């Protein structure tokens, strides 16, 4: 086929360009995803990460088992006189500890995504701005639930019998998950501020270790020195453990439950905007 020597290269490429435009053309512009839809998409992403990297479930399965067995059988006889009595006291507290330690992973994975450039891509997408963070937190709530189930199942095998029955246990776990979701904002903010995942892990442990061990998880605070008792009395973990214990014992403490719910709302109300500001300004 003869080609007119006066035809330019642009004119020769024009049919190909028109065919390409026709192939990718859309009949209508896609609508922007709603905040709920975008959040659920990122939640599903967090769950898929668990599916493809099951090793990350070790901290919600192995750690609760180790802590429960270790404290029950190493210290139960010395602290309570017999293992069975101590288990009744310990298990709600060790359940709280297991879930709260799991919240550290939220900031760790956040920082890992940032270091890999994933969140830079998320920020360029036309979606509700908090969706990646809220979706990740909701996905991690599944991890908290797994940690709760593993700890409770082991406790039942060892002899834990909650007087509050199924209802008390379920309400206690729900209250714990609400507080854990609120606390996750702390470690999410750390994940946005600190430079490496290891720094997030180390700093988070420095925060949680004193809060969990200097509380009423393992022993009655009345056995502690007076100065330490004062810290334990204002420790938020102490209030949480007391509320969960009361629900599982069938003796719910209204004041304690209300305190945990109010603290969860305040943590989220204060830290969520700060975290989103850090997320927007992250360079």
- Asked, for residue 139, whether it belongs to a domain, the answer is yes
Given a contact cutoff of 8 angstroms between Cβ atoms, the answer to whether 42 and 36 are in contact is: no
Range with the largest mean pLDDT of 68-72, 99-103, 222-226, 237-241: 237-241
Is residue 111 included in any domain, yes or no? yes
* Residue 69 included in any domain: yes
234, 78 Cβ separation under 8 angstroms: no
Q: Is residue 175 part of a domain?
A: yes
Residues with Cβ within 8 Å of 1's Cβ and at least 6 positions away in sequence, in order, are none
- Whether residue 51 is contained in a domain is answered as yes
> What's the pLDDT at 53?
72
**pLDDT digit string (tens) for 160-207?**
999 999 999 999 999 999 999 999 999 999 998 988 888 999 999 999
**The predicted structure's pLDDT at residue 3:** 44
Q: According to the model, what pLDDT value does residue 30 have?
A: 65
CA-based max dimension of the chain: 102
Mean pLDDT calculated for residue range 257-275:
94
**How far does Cα 188 stand from its chain's mean position?**
9
The predicted pLDDT at position 45 comes to 87
167: closest CA among 249, 64, 257?
249
C-alpha neighbours within 13 Å on the C-beta side of residue 101? 24
Domain that holds residue 241: 33-281
Confidence of residue 281 (pLDDT cuts 50, 70, 90): confident
What angle do the packed helices 104-115 and 165-193 form, to 10 degrees?
30
DSSP assignment of 227-276:
HHHHHHHH-HHHHHHHHHHHHHTT---HHHHHHHHHHHHHHHHHHHHHHH
Q: How far apart are CA 283 and CA 275, in angstroms?
A: 14
- 7 located within any domain: no
The answer on pLDDT for 229 being more than 60 is yes
Q: How many domains does the chain have?
A: 1
């Amino acid at each position: 086929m003869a080609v007119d020597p006066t035809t330019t290269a642009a004119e020769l490429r024009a049919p190909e360009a028109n065919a390409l435009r026709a192939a990718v053309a859309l009949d209508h512009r896609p609508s922007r995803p709603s905040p709920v839809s975008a959040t659920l998409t990122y939640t599903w992403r967090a769950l898929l990460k668990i599916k493809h990297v099951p090793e990350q479930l070790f901290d919600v399965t192995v750690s609760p088992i180790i802590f429960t067995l270790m404290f029950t059988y190493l210290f139960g006889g010395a602290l309570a006189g017999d293992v069975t009595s101590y288990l009744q006291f310990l298990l709600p507290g060790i359940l709280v500890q297991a879930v709260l330690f799991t919240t550290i992973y939220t900031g760790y994975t956040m920082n890992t995504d940032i270091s890999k450039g994933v969140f830079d891509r998320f920020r360029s997408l036309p979606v509700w701005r908090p969706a990646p963070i809220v979706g990740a937190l909701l996905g991690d709530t599944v991890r908290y639930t797994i940690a709760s189930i593993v700890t409770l199942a082991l406790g039942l095998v060892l002899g834990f019998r909650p007087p509050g029955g199924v209802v008390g246990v379920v309400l206690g776990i729900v209250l714990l998950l609400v507080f854990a979701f609120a606390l996750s904002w702390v470690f999410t903010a750390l994940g946005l501020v600190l430079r490496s995942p290891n720094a997030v892990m180390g700093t988070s442990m420095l925060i949680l270790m004193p809060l969990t061990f200097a509380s009423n998880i393992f022993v009655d605070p009345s056995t502690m020195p007076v100065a330490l008792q004062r810290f334990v009395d204002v420790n938020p973990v102490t209030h949480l453990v007391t509320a969960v214990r009361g629900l599982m014992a069938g003796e719910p403490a209204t004041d304690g439950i209300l305190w945990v719910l109010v603290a969860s709302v305040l943590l989220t109300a204060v830290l969520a905007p700060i975290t989103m500001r850090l997320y927007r300004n992250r360079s």
